[in-house]
């Protein structure tokens, strides 16, 4: 499965770099960021080229940073012409779920389901957790 992370600025690159620092070098894992000087059309073409370079029969999972943000909308515009999975709201814990899912040989659809299950657990109110431990 090819994984493409798309975000505003350098967030996608940071997620990919950090995931690789934790889990080791990853094949078929790319990052694209929408920079202030770049148009969404340019970003769209970069993503499209990456999808087109995917091996025959290989699934594509695209992860975006923000629901209804420009990177999200750019990927949505590709969904009618490209066969891909798309999950938005990516963060580092979810990125690690993707990496581990790939190690386990899961399909893109299985990884998407895992992400939706794991998402609520990736944000914690540490003050409340701390209070519980103190009590």
pLDDT in tens, 36-64: 999 999 999 999 999 999 999 999 999 99
Report the pLDDT value the prediction gives residue 30, as an integer from 0 to 100.
Answer: 98
**How many distinct structural domains can be found in the chain?**
1
pLDDT at residue 135 greater than cutoff 80? no
Output the six-digit token pair for 117. Answer: 């299950």
pLDDT at residue 9 greater than cutoff 80? yes
* Domain harbouring 89, CATH code: 3.40.50.510
Query: Which residues does residue 30 pair with via DSSP β-bridges, in sequence order?
Result: 4
Q: Give the β-pairing of 29-34 and 85-88.
A: unpaired
Q: How many CA atoms lie within 13 A of 40 on its CB side?
A: 12
Q: Looking at the whole model, is its pTM more than 0.75?
A: yes
The domain in which residue 121 lies consists of: 2-134
Read off the pLDDT band of 21 (50, 70, 90).
Answer: very high
Output the six-digit token pair for 13. Answer: 């690159």
Model confidence pLDDT, tens digit, residues 67-94: 999 999 999 999 999 999 999 999 999 9
Q: Give the integer Cα–Cα distance in Å for 55 and 51.
A: 9
Q: Give the integer Cα–Cα distance in Å for 65 and 6.
A: 7
Neighbouring residues of 37: CB distance < 8 A, sequence distance ≥ 6: none
* Of 73, 76, 72, 90, residue with least CA distance to 11: 90
Residue the block writes with tokens 């600025």: 9
Q: Give the integer Cα–Cα distance in Å for 31 and 12.
A: 5
């Amino acid at each position: 499965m090819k994984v493409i992370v798309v975000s505003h600025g350098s967030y996608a690159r940071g997620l990919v770099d950090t995931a690789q620092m934790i889990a080791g070098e990853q094949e078929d894992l790319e990052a694209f960021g929408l920079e202030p000087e770049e148009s969404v059309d340019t970003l769209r073409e970069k993503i499209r080229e990456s999808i087109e370079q995917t091996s025959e029969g290989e699934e594509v999972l695209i992860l975006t940073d923000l629901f209804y943000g420009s990177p999200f909308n750019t990927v949505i515009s590709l969904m009618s012409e490209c066969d891909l999975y798309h999950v938005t709201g990516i963060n580092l814990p979810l990125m690690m779920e993707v990496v581990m899912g790939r190690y386990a040989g899961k399909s893109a659809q299985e990884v998407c389901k895992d992400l939706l299950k794991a998402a609520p657990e990736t944000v914690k109110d540490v003050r409340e957790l701390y209070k519980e431990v103190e009590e």
